[in-house]
Structure 1
Amino acid sequence: MLEFRVQDMTCGHCAGAITKAVKQVAPQASVEVDLDRHRVRVQGEADGEAVKAAIADAGYTPEPAGN
């Protein structure tokens, strides 16, 4: 599982844009977005760097999520 903190994700549109971006690089992965905690979780086969780059390319700032 990959988890990122995305502080500049603030609304449903943001969540949709990030989900779409992640699905483009990891189509089989499950994407969970928690707007309240500004977290994105990706489960399944996905390259962490590719997912991070996809989120950044969508206009957001992904950071490693520390528990």
Structure 2
Amino acid sequence: MKKLEMKFLDQENKTVTLSLDDPKEPVDPVQVNQAMDAVLAENCFFSSNGDLVAKKEARIVERNVEDIVL
């Protein structure tokens, strides 16, 4: 399973992560950047440390799970 993680900084300079499952691929960096700008402009999310104030990074994370037979 892949996730798009968008990381922001809040008012106390702490990292806040917003994750989206199964992003459309290939991921368009311009669209991700625009989406992150929109999150900041709309001020629609906040953390326990206040509003989100800056973009930190964005990345695709892939998790592989392999069951172990017991």
Q: TM-score, normalised by structure 2?
A: 0.34
Q: Larger Rg: 1 or 2? A: 2
* Structure (1/2) with the larger helix percentage: 1
Q: TM-score, normalised by structure 1?
A: 0.35
* Structure (1/2) with the larger strand percentage: 2
